[in-house]
Amino acid sequence: MKTIAVIGGGASGMMAAVTAASEGARVILLEHGNQVGKKILSTGNGRCNFTNTLQEPFCYHSDNPLFPWRLVKRFGAQDAIAFFLKLGVYSKNRNGYIYPNSDQASAVADVLRMEMERLQVEIRTGTECRKIIPGKKHFRILTDREDVRADRVILCTGSKAAPNTGSDGSGYDLAKDLGHRMIPVLPALVQLRCREKFLKSIAGVRTNGRVSLYCGDECIAENAGEIQLTAYGISGIPVFQVSRWASRALYEGKEVTAFLDFMPDYSFEQTLAFLKARAAMRPQKRAEDFLTGVFHRKLSDLWIRLSGIGREKKAGEFTEKDMENLCGLIKKFRTTVTAANSFEQAQVCCGGIDTAEVNPDTLESLYVPGLYFAGEILDVDGICGGYNLQWAWTSGHISGKEAANDQDQSA
């Protein structure tokens, strides 16, 4: 019987272990923390949005952009839903976002753990892997306890995001020791820090809008939804969605500017016409009250101040320049991005093992036969909405199946 060592007990590691054991392999799962599946418990605000029915190539990012989609097409959302249904998790659909019917992330972690127990996977928690040594007949894995021998190894140690759940980036060193190159690992799906001091005056505001990131004159990413304004910068789902590009550009030493559009459904001309019509309707209104009922008071107060319009000035006295300045602040509110928040706040990372060095059909290392990868350790990250867990299920399933059925090893 083939022995497979799965290093890392997160979502991809548990999926790999279950799949390999289902294929008839003896599986040893090594987890450095005191429990498996810890990061799953915090996903979806504790409800675990474990996949999404919308599956398109743009949902997954990598320096090798075709790599993740090629694999997701083989084990996608419907496969994940069916897999968990067999394990006992009945799912519900919220506009394409798939959750367990119980709304408990623990249900997903629990059924994976129970399935590993049923398949007699040997789970060894509190075991830190220090080195992987390939051999002619087997791998030798050096740990802080006893050494482990295995015919195949699946490395699923995660990224550096959310280290309080056990993700410490230790797998990157194991992969580098075996000759693999790293795409720079940076925070993604994270808040952005900005330079302007006036942000403190609008902290706590949540409003619909569009965020566009620019490097010079080039728009490098944009997304729309509910933007959250904080004392240090910008947050919310659309900010999370573009944050990987901000992290990369800042890492490369580029200047990054975020433009916020607070009326994304209207053009500049339409917004300007709206403001003029509003002024004509109530020309006696003072500037400080002009936008009451349209925007949050904190925002309108800031815009009136930045536009140079006196607070007491009557709407009927606004000049063309006043209107254009105000419209510019509403449609293209500028802030300078200085940093992404740290790995502690990030949901995932961008970067990781260069996928050009990994077989795109099997997830086996092109350098070390018998070594496979799954999950966040690879240079693959998804957008918000269940896509990073889908990548964990996809890569865990494929690596587990391929490792269990691989008959050749020449290392």
The pLDDT assigned to 408 comes to: 59
Looking at the fold, whether 286 and 362 belong to one and the same domain comes out as no
Q: Would 169 be classed as within a structural domain? A: yes
Residue 330 and residue 201 in one domain = yes
Q: Are residues 308 and 222 in the same domain?
A: yes
Domain that holds residue 288: 191-340
Same domain, 35 and 166: yes
Q: Which residues partner with 152 through β-bridges?
A: 4
Domain match, 73 and 139 both: yes
**Token representation of residue 92:** 């519900």
Whether 240 maps to a domain, the answer reads yes
Q: How far apart are CA 15 and CA 112, in angstroms?
A: 7
| pLDDT value for 410 | 40
The angle, 0 to 180 degrees and rounded to 10, between the axes of the packed helices 11-22 and 387-405 is: 30
Does residue 235 form part of some domain?
A: yes
Check residue 355 and give its pLDDT: 98
Residue 150 lies in a domain: yes
Judge if 58 and 178 occupy the same domain.
yes
* Number of domains forming the structure of the chain: 2
Q: Does one domain contain both 149 and 264?
A: no
> Is residue 346 situated within a structural domain?
no
> Tell me, what CATH number does 49's domain have?
3.50.50.60
**Are 401 and 362 a contacting pair, CB within 8 Å?**
no
In a domain, 345, yes or no: no
CA 107, CA 90: separation in Å to the nearest integer?
Answer: 10
The pLDDT tens digits of the residues spanning 348-384 come to: 999 999 999 999 999 999 999 999 999 999 999 999 9
Within a domain: residue 224?
yes
Please classify residue 362 by burial: count the beta carbons closer than 10 Å to its beta carbon, then call 0-12 exposed, 13-18 middle and 19+ buried: middle
Cα separations in angstroms, 363 against 17, 73, 151, 241: 15, 14, 16, 26
Instruction: Verify that 154 and 103 share a domain, yes or no.
Output: yes
Burial level of 98, CB count in 10 A (0-12/13-18/19+)? buried
Shared domain for 201 and 331, answered yes or no, is yes
Are 11 and 128 contained in the same domain? yes
Query: pLDDT averaged over consecutive 10-residue blocks of the chain (411 residues)?
Result: 97 98 98 94 92 98 97 98 98 97 97 98 97 95 95 96 87 97 97 97 97 97 98 98 98 98 98 97 97 97 96 96 98 98 96 98 98 98 97 98 80 37
Among 340, 362, 380, the domain boundary falls at 340
Residues 146 and 247 both lie in one domain: no
Q: pTM of whole model > 0.75? A: yes
Asked whether residue 196 is assigned to any structural domain, the reply reads yes
Q: Are residues 335 and 362 in the same domain?
A: no
Identify the CA nearest to 385 among candidates 77, 174, 23.
77
Tens of pLDDT along 192-214? 999 999 999 999 999 999 999 99
Of 286, 319, 340, the domain-final residue: 340
284, 318, 340 — which closes off a domain?
A: 340
- pLDDT for 411: 37
